[in-house]
Amino acid sequence: GAGVSQSPSNKVTEKGKDVELRCDPISGHTALYWYRQSLGQGLEFLIYFQGNSAPDKSGLPSDRFSAERTGGSVSTLTIQRTQQEDSAVYLCAILLLYGEQFFGPGTRLTVL
C-alpha cells in the first residue's frame, strides 16, 4: 500500500544466513506491527511497537528474531541463522483507527 513500503519484496537466502527486512511507514503513526504468513496459514503476530513504550515481543517465535524501530518510523526485522521454517511472507502494518490496520505489500522470504 502507498502508506507502508517494505523492502526487499523478495529475498532468497541460504539456511544459516542472517536477513534483515525493512518497513518504511508514512509518518505520524505511532503503532507498527510485524506479522508473518506461512504457506497455508493465517497471519501470525510477531511484534508490536507503540510510541516510546517497550515493544510487545510476545509473538516472536525464537530468540533468532528481533526487531527495531528507529526514530518512531522505519522498522527492521532481523532473523539470524535462518531456518527453512522461517520461509514466509513477512508483513508490516500501521494502526489507522482502533483495530483497523493498514498493511504493506510484504516481503517474501525463502530459505533454501
Partner 1 sequence: DQQVKQNSPSLSVQEGRISILNCDYTNSMFDYFLWYKKYPAEGPTFLISISSIKDKNEDGRFTVFLNKSAKHLSLHIVPSQPGDSAVYFCAATGNEKLTFGTGTRLTIIP
Binding site for partner 1 (CB under 8 A): 1, 4, 31, 33, 35, 40-45, 48, 50, 56, 91, 93, 95-96, 98-106, 108
Provide, rounded to whole angstroms, the least separation between the CB of residue 66 and partner 1.
19
Q: Which is nearer to partner 1, 74 or 80 (CB)?
A: 74
The number of CA neighbours under 13 Å toward the Cβ of 53 is: 11
Say how far apart CA 12 and CA 1 lie, in whole Å: 23
Provide, rounded to whole angstroms, the least separation between the CB of residue 41 and partner 1.
6
Provide, rounded to whole angstroms, the least separation between the CB of residue 44 and partner 1.
8
Pairing label, strands 10-13, 107-111? parallel
Residue 101, C-beta contacts closer than 8 angstroms, at least 6 positions apart: 33, 93, 94, 95
Residue 96, Ramachandran bin (φ over 0: left; ψ between -120 and 50: alpha; else beta): alpha
Q: Which is nearer to partner 1, 31 or 74 (CB)?
A: 31
Q: Which is nearer to partner 1, 14 or 100 (CB)?
A: 100
